[in-house]
Amino acid sequence: MADVLGVFREIDGQIQRVGSITAEGSECQFAYDRSYLLQSDARPISVKMPLKEAPFSQYETRVFFEGLLPEGQMRSLAANSMHVGEDSYISMLSRFNNESIGALLFGDSAESLVSDRSYRPLEEGWEDKFSQSPRQIALELDMESRLSLAGAQSKAGLYCDENDPSRWYIPLGAAPSSHIVKASEGVFPHLSINEALCMLTARYCFFDVAQGRLLKAAGEPLYAVRRFDRVAGNEDGAISGQRKLLRLHQEDFCQAGGLLSWQKYEPTDGDYLGFGARLLSHVAPDPFSARMGFLNEILLCFLMGNCDNHLKNFSLLWSREWTACELSPLYDLVCTTIYPQIDREMGIPLCESRKIDDVRQGDILSSAKRAGVSEKLGWAEFEDLAEEIPQALERATQEIVDEGFPDAEYVSSLIRRDMEKRIEQAMK
């Protein structure tokens, strides 16, 4: 007998059933409900899932829905706790059903998703526990909140009282989270400060980035990122006394491009820069500006030393009404080159070898061309960014130190030293 998991979307605060995933043995297929297809406001849930009556293939279904789940060790821990195999992505999705990236929810009825939601205050000292036992606490929080966050890092979706930034809550049922809170892993010291520095530097270079702040803890600080796929709703409809948030739909470039999560790093003879640019040309209201923005983000990753700039770290973000999408704000920006155990091949590279240390001026010119931008304009953008970024890093460093995190000076010095070498080599 087949198992059926209902798929719902939030559109401007309302929950609407869009279809279902049918699992029979090892085969899973998604299909839109016919009643949904007849709605005037019906929209696809993915670039790769256009509106149609026929069900999508097992591969098409897996690409999108598996992309909502954790990866790496966090996925292994979650699968073990559920007593299911790591490949049982529908079983995991039915458990992590209330709060994933984007605006989709999973369950039996819209009524149950609306009624079963609340916020529970976190006990004092939760930051210390999370900092000292990242994976264990992340798993415990995510299992309780039935929340799925893609990626391999230890992180949890929490709600912060906008009137009192020191008060944090765990969302229960289908209550939305407002922030993604990340903890540094022991093997990568100062990871939270690293990300805070890189994100603030990008903001000072006039990039659209997710807003974040460091939280003090007994161990290394946590990094709390405000979710850009959640926006404030009207004053009515409060949940546990907290202002209601609305979900915006989002999908990463793997999902939108029809690639499984493990394909997020560019393979030999691949062209993920061109791949992303072509995707944006297809969906963005202003294709050229979107391609230019994407190219600039890859140039920023090169200068910052972010080799983990894979396809799942770039996304499309939909409007509240699901009528248009654009390149999302930047997120998950860190300098990986300060950690010797991390490979120096870029996820979306600028040169044939994919090595960040091999990039030269000619590679930047050819990369601009592959992104659909003129070589002259691409190089001008790079020169401007290379001139701005050292001062932006210095400004970000001072701000974070003033907030009470003196280790930012040390981390910044590591980032700056590597950055100066890359700027010099790219000018050759």
Residue 59: predicted pLDDT: 95
How far apart (Å, rounded) are the C-alpha atoms in residues 126 and 140?
12
How far apart (Å, rounded) are the C-alpha atoms in residues 251 and 143?
22
Closest CA to 257 of 298, 188, 314, 182: 314
Number of CB atoms found within 10 A of residue 375's CB: 14
Q: Which helix (H) or strand (E) holds 252?
A: strand 250-252
How far apart (Å, rounded) are the C-alpha atoms in residues 48 and 31?
13
Q: Which residues, at least 6 apart from 268, have a Cβ–Cβ distance to it below 8 Å?
A: none
Are the C-beta atoms of residues 183 and 134 closer than 8 Å to each other? Answer: yes
Which residue has 């994100």 as its token pair? 199
Residue 1: predicted pLDDT: 44
Residue 94: predicted pLDDT: 74
CA distances from 14 to 17, 44, 111, 113, 117 (A): 10, 16, 11, 11, 14
What residue ranges do the domains of the chain occupy? 3-113, 118-226, 250-426
Residue 311: predicted pLDDT: 96
Sheet holding 14-24, edge to edge: 27-32, 14-24, 3-11, 104-107
Q: Which residues, at least 6 apart from 352, have a Cβ–Cβ distance to it below 8 Å?
A: 363
Number of CB atoms found within 10 A of residue 69's CB: 22
b vs e for 199-214, b when ≥16 Cβ sit within 10 Å of the residue's Cβ?
A: bbbbbbbebebbebbb
What type of residue sits at position 178? S
- Calculate ∠ Cα 135-139-143, nearest 5°: 175
Tokens of 8: 């719902």
Fold for 250-426, please state it: 1.10.1070
Are the C-beta atoms of residues 136 and 184 closer than 8 Å to each other? Answer: no
Are the C-beta atoms of residues 301 and 207 closer than 8 Å to each other? Answer: no
Residue 158: predicted pLDDT: 94
Tokens of 177: 């989270």
For the chain, how are helix, strand and coil distributed in percent, rounded to 5? 40, 20, 40
Residue 86: predicted pLDDT: 67
Q: What is the pLDDT of residues 378-421, one digit of tens each?
A: 999 999 999 999 999 999 999 999 999 999 999 999 999 999 99
Residue 240: predicted pLDDT: 79
Q: What is the pLDDT of residues 334-380, one digit of tens each?
A: 999 999 999 999 999 999 999 999 999 999 999 999 999 999 999 99
Instruction: Give 117's strand partners.
Output: 173
**What DSSP assignment string belongs to 78-89?**
HHHHHTS-TT-H
Polymer length in residues for the chain: 428
Q: Residue ranges of the chain with pLDDT lower than 50? A: 1
How far apart (Å, rounded) are the C-alpha atoms in residues 132 and 217?
9
Are the C-beta atoms of residues 306 and 209 closer than 8 Å to each other? Answer: no
Residue 371: predicted pLDDT: 97
pTM of the model: 0.93
Residue 108: predicted pLDDT: 84
How far apart (Å, rounded) are the C-alpha atoms in residues 421 and 416?
9
